[in-house]
Amino acid sequence: MARYGMVIDTLKCVGCQDCVIACEAENSVPEGFCRDWITTEAKGTFPTIQMEIRTERCNHCTDAPCVSACPTGASHYHDIGGVVLVNHDECIGCKACIASCPYDARFVHPEGYVDKCTFCIHRVEKGQDPACVSVCPTYCMTFGDFDDPGSEVNKLLNSRRYHSLLPEAGTKPNIYYLT
Amino acid sequence: MNSLSRRRFLKISGATISAAAAVTSLSSVVKGAQKIDEKTGKPIKGIQKIPTYCDVCFWKCGAIAYLKDGELWKIEGNPNDPLSNGRLCPRGTGGIGAHYSTDRIKHPLIRKNERGEEKWVEVTWDEALEYIATKMKKIKREYGPESMALFSHGVGGTFLKHTMKAYGTNNMTAPSFAQCRGPREVGFEMTFGEGVGSPERTDIENAKCITFIGSHLGENMHNTQVQELSKAIANNASIIVVDPRFSVVASKAKYYLPIKPGTDIALLLAWMNVIVKEKLYDVDYVEKYGYGFEQFAAEIEDKTPEWAYPITTIEPELIRKSAREMAKNIPASFIHPGRHTTWYGDDTQRSRAIALLNALLGAWGRKGGFYLPNKFSVPKYSDYPKYPKSKKPLVHNPGHKYPYAEGEQLSTGIREATINGIPYPIKGWMVYATNLLQALPNRDETIAAIKNLDLLVVVDIVPSEIAGWADVILPEATYLERYDDLNNAPFKQNFVSLRQPVIDAPHDQKPNWWIAKKLADKLGVGNYFPWNNIEEYLDARLKKAGLSLAELKKKGVVKGEKQPIYFDEGIEPGFFTPSGKIEFYSLQLEEHGFDPIPKFTDHGNPPPGYFRLLFGRAPVHTFSKTQSYKFLKDAMSENEVWMNQTVANKMGLKSGEYVQLKNQDGKKSGRVKVRPTERIRTDCVYMVHGFGQTAKEMKTTYKKGGSDAELVTRYKMDPIMGGTGMNVNYVTIDWEA
């Protein structure tokens, strides 16, 4: 089995939105929507400020509440890497998944189904990185398999301090942020 | 192109349809990728990959455009290109938005009403060019050809420059000198005998310490530099950032110095004071290559951190610690020279101070400092007739008032000559790819100059603010729809790259080379274009370099043999200054009566209730050019005014509330959102440049955000090279938004 995920180095990220734009182009995301986005967290008062810049998206959780909330089975774990996907044909647009997602990663596509990050599974299946990873001018994102002990993503987690987003939600997110 | 090379390409690229299919023959005028298969007559299905180089900014990254079923789909970096390394910046990734912009000018337009009313009649290319040629001939008859001037930005201006020279004028300029990087180039030339160039010769990836002064890399997305910065961060390089605003790169810094705007020279002198006093500089290097070090050391003797503290507001201890940090990493430690350096009117001297600190660190010519670039040699096209010689002087700098404005011309100088007719009248402007109403300070002066013209021609993609004032607008094909001249800019790795059309222009837009050639025909100087189309021109140039257009069309970029780029790799150090050395004491500045060693000048304080206006870049936009691009307009549709949180609280300003800014002369910015933040000092506000556009025909950008350009009414001339210092305006909040 594989468990796909990402490790993102916040020390490198400059928040340029290249990942956002590459995703929109790659996946023909409709105007006004995005599958990934930038969050900037600044703490402190001028001039003593701590700032973390992050690229965020669906965390492809191992215990994904969107999958359990879906009444039709449209939201599901993909056979490969446990990637959380939405089957457009089975989605009835009830938005239960949107309400259940602690990361606000989903939106209703103008065509009526719920849409979100797919980890560019169409690229991954061809041996390529997701579009956001492959475009990043700071090389801050690494995509890989957490079930493979020798994978680059595991090496990074073993060598650096990291955190995930909202671990208290108990969804077992598969994106980690190096700090 | 033979079938063998076509097959080989297919194998290499793995693409469904070869990019070579885009090449039909040299007789084609301008054609992008094929939508229809010539043999079957059916639409082409699948993916076509076509290499080219980007034009969203001046970095010119190698890219590969993807077409899906004949439609432009996406654009990625070309992995073989040394500038992009296969990764474009967000603007490059969003570059397909240039093709898809809904604001594009579709046909040539001639003005119907008064200038600036933006009312047009659609005409044919022949009518438009005939109209321009008739007016230009009249100007030539009545005033002489020198009374036409060209404002041009970027590689696309190459052929229009050629036409204008053939017509008989050399009055041509780009705001990229005196409104941008000029002071830096001159400051470094005075010191090392060479400018920094573009791309800047900074060896960021190998640096152990990098210091940024007001340069917000990561927000300005000079692609290779951002990539190298990331590598430097991975190598645990120390970063020192000096900025009144806590920029993105400040968040990566070991030392952040929240300097009072306008006092950078004081900080630089104090840093050098510490490094010289504590003898932390590269003594061997300075002894071997330096000139006038003793005078310099004497001059900065009393410029202590304690002296600088009340000027800069930076604690002496922080000045000392950061100076020691940069010295500790000698010679892989350098001060980034910046790019947009026209701030306070003494910018050449500030750039000199930056150059001198770099000299103390021994950074010039060293790994992790400033490398010595090399260039892929591609001979110029040589079969042109000689240009006519003019007896008249250039107009931009009468009496050589600015002694070091001579390499590149001053845009505001040509504007001034247009207003006052000195040394002779300027009656026509050709404007290529530069929105002068955003690029030049003081709009009223630009408009006053335009009112004196008999002819204003603007070549642009969209009906920009300057286009709104034109007599004739010529709609240009975007970079995705045209060829341009080759790019062989000096860099660490020498290379040559090709821009080629990847898709057809959607309407009646034409490439600049075609416009320049056709206009030359109409002007009776068609003999200056001995080639039938640009493919012939490019092939002739490439053949002289042992390459061919066919090869470049397939590869996009060809790299030369790796050359040494550091002194340590065997390059003999040479400095093109009068002394032949690195001039701590500048003989050239002394000769012209300027301070041979930089001195601090006080730039004042905002009056009560006012803030100093600072402006800069966002990663997703270039100047005022990209705001209508699909993707990029979503990524940032309007700018905000950054204001210190405490100040905003006191003034009762809420996040996202719309206000206007009003400057000391009563000029207003247009509606702009307030962004209260801890990330800026209390004495200044900050905006991203290029927004608040006032051209009504720019439907997607009209009055989106606030215009810093409207607010920059005052500017301070740099006496050395004629740069326009623009951070000298003060603004207050005007609630009537």
Among B252, B248, B258, B267, residue whose Cα is nearest residue B210: B252
Please tell me which of the candidates B74, B218, B256 has its beta carbon nearest to residue A26.
B74
Q: How far is CA B383 from CA B164, B297, B511, B529, in A?
A: 17, 53, 22, 9
Using a CB-CB cut-off of 8 Å, the residues of chain A touching B677 are 42
Q: Mean pLDDT of successive 10-residue segments in chain B (737 residues)?
A: 30 32 36 70 88 98 96 97 98 97 97 95 98 98 98 96 98 97 97 97 98 98 98 98 98 98 98 98 98 98 98 98 98 98 98 98 98 97 94 96 92 98 98 98 98 98 97 98 98 98 96 98 98 97 98 98 96 96 98 98 97 98 96 97 98 96 98 98 98 96 98 98 98 85
Q: Choose the mutation target among B74, B675, B682 for the interface with A, i.e. most A CBs under 10 Å.
A: B74
Burial class of residue A69 (count of CB atoms within 10 Å of its CB; 0-12, 13-18, 19+): middle
Q: Report the distance separating Cα B100 and Cα B269, nearest Å.
A: 50
The answer to whether A31 contacts B630, with C-beta atoms less than 8 Å apart, is yes
**CATH number, domain with residue A118:** 3.30.70.20
Number of other CB atoms surrounding residue A116 within 10 Å: 23
A81 phi-psi bin (left φ>0, alpha ψ -120 to 50, beta other): left
Sign of the torsion formed by the C-alpha atoms of B649, B655, B658 and B659:
positive
| CATH hierarchy code of domain B179-373+571-591 | 3.40.228.10
Please tell me which of the candidates B219, B227, B678 has its beta carbon nearest to residue A137.
B227
Residue A137 domain boundaries? 4-178
Number of other CB atoms surrounding residue B393 within 10 Å: 15
A6, A143 Cβ separation under 8 angstroms:
yes
Q: For residue B631, how far is the Cα from the chain centroid?
A: 22
> Is the domain defined by B104-174+381-476+511-530 classed in CATH 3.60.21.10?
no
The answer to whether B226 contacts A137, with C-beta atoms less than 8 Å apart, is yes
DSSP H helices, B598-679, are: 632-635, 645-651
Q: Which residue has the tokens 């699909």?
A: B630
Please tell me which of the candidates B76, B230, B634 has its beta carbon nearest to residue A138.
B230
Q: Report the distance separating Cα B192 and Cα B543, nearest Å.
A: 35
Using a CB-CB cut-off of 8 Å, the residues of chain A touching B255 are none
> Is the domain defined by B611-734 classed in CATH 1.10.357.10?
no
Q: How far is CA A164 from CA A64, A169, B233, in A?
A: 15, 11, 22
Residue ranges of the domains in chain B?
A: 104-174+381-476+511-530, 179-373+571-591, 611-734
Q: How far is CA B110 from CA B468, B470, B695, in A?
A: 11, 8, 16
Please tell me which of the candidates B218, B223, B679 has its beta carbon nearest to residue A42.
B679
**Tens digits of per-residue pLDDT, A20-36?**
999 999 999 999 999 99
Among B508, B443, B410, B476, residue whose Cα is nearest residue B157: B476
Residues in A whose CB is inside 8 Å of some CB of B read 9, 11-12, 14-18, 20-22, 24-26, 31-32, 34, 42, 44-47, 49-53, 134-140
**Tens digits of per-residue pLDDT, A75-91?**
999 999 999 999 999 99
The answer to whether B635 contacts A21, with C-beta atoms less than 8 Å apart, is yes
| Cα end-to-end distance, chain B, whole Å | 61
A3, A157 Cβ separation under 8 angstroms:
no
| Cα end-to-end distance, chain A, whole Å | 29
The answer to whether B680 contacts A46, with C-beta atoms less than 8 Å apart, is yes
A99, A69 Cβ separation under 8 angstroms:
yes
Q: Which residue of A has its CA nearest to B84?
A: A137
Using a CB-CB cut-off of 8 Å, the residues of chain B touching A134 are 76, 87
Tokens representing residue A177 in the block: 């942020």
Q: Which residue of B has its CA nearest to A52?
A: B251
**Would you state the pLDDT for residue B649?**
98
The answer to whether B678 contacts A17, with C-beta atoms less than 8 Å apart, is no
Using a CB-CB cut-off of 8 Å, the residues of chain B touching A138 are 226-227, 229-230
3-state secondary structure of B17: strand
Q: Report the distance separating Cα B253 and Cα B256, nearest Å.
A: 6
**Would you state the pLDDT for residue B633?**
96
Please tell me which of the candidates B231, B249, B678 has its beta carbon nearest to residue A46.
B678
Antiparallel, parallel or unpaired: β A4-9 and B455-460: unpaired
B299, B276 Cβ separation under 8 angstroms:
no
Q: Report the distance separating Cα A174 and Cα A164, nearest Å.
A: 8
Q: Report the distance separating Cα B184 and Cα B336, nearest Å.
A: 11
Query: Number of folded domains in chain A?
Result: 1
Using a CB-CB cut-off of 8 Å, the residues of chain B touching A52 are 251
Chain B residues 627-666 within an 8 A CB cutoff of chain A: 630-632, 634-636, 644-645
Q: Report the distance separating Cα B228 and Cα B233, nearest Å.
A: 9
CB under 8 Å to B184, separation ≥6 — which residues?
B195, B196, B337, B338, B339, B341, B347, B351, B354
Chain B residues 88-107 within an 8 A CB cutoff of chain A: 88-90, 93-94, 96
Please tell me which of the candidates A53, A134, A136 has its beta carbon nearest to residue B251.
A53
B473, B105 Cβ separation under 8 angstroms:
yes
Q: Report the distance separating Cα A165 and Cα A58, nearest Å.
A: 11
The answer to whether B230 contacts A135, with C-beta atoms less than 8 Å apart, is no
The answer to whether A25 contacts B93, with C-beta atoms less than 8 Å apart, is yes
Identify how many contiguous H helices and E strands chain A contains and give both numbers. Answer: 6, 10
Tokens representing residue B697 in the block: 């025909």
Q: Which residue of B has its CA nearest to A36?
A: B635
**Would you state the pLDDT for residue B383?**
87
Q: Which long-range contacts (CB under 8 A, 24 or more apart) does B522-526 make?
A: B522/B129, B522/B130, B522/B132, B522/B133, B523/B133, B523/B136, B523/B137, B523/B163, B523/B166, B523/B167, B525/B163, B525/B166, B525/B167
CA distance B125 to chain A (A): 34
Which amino acid is present at B283? V
Q: Supply the DSSP string of A35-103, one letter for each residue.
A: SEEEEEEEEEETTEEEEEEEEEE----TT-HHHHH-SSS-EEE-TTTT-EEE-TTT-----HHHHH-TT
CA distance B491 to chain A (A): 18
Q: Supply the DSSP string of B563-612, one letter for each residue.
A: ---SGGGTPPP---STTSSEESS-HHHHHTTS-SS--------PPTT-EE
Q: Supply the DSSP string of B260-302, one letter for each residue.
A: PTT-HHHHHHHHHHHHHHTT-S-HHHHHHHEESHHHHHHHTTT
Burial class of residue B593 (count of CB atoms within 10 Å of its CB; 0-12, 13-18, 19+): exposed
Task: Say if B479 is an interface residue toward chain A (CB within 8 Å).
Answer: no
Q: Supply the DSSP string of B437-454, one letter for each residue.
A: HHHSS-HHHHHHHHHT-S
**Tens digits of per-residue pLDDT, A84-126?**
999 999 999 999 999 999 999 999 999 999 999 999 999 999 9
The answer to whether A14 contacts B73, with C-beta atoms less than 8 Å apart, is no
Peptide bond into B423 cis (omega under 30): yes
Number of other CB atoms surrounding residue A128 within 10 Å: 13
Which amino acid is present at B358? N
ipTM of the complex: 0.97
**Would you state the pLDDT for residue B248?**
98
Q: Report the distance separating Cα A44 and Cα B645, nearest Å.
A: 12
The answer to whether B226 contacts A11, with C-beta atoms less than 8 Å apart, is no
B65, B94 Cβ separation under 8 angstroms:
no
Q: Which residue of B has its CA nearest to A44?
A: B678
Instruction: For B184, list phi and psi in degrees, rounded to 5.
Output: -65, -45
Antiparallel, parallel or unpaired: β B255-257 and B148-152: unpaired
Q: How far is CA B408 from CA B159, B247, B436, B723, in A?
A: 18, 31, 17, 11
Task: Say if B619 is an interface residue toward chain A (CB within 8 Å).
Answer: yes
Q: Choose the mutation target among A13, A17, A152 for the interface with B, i.e. most B CBs under 10 Å.
A: A17
Which amino acid is present at B147? S
Task: Say if B13 is an interface residue toward chain A (CB within 8 Å).
Answer: no
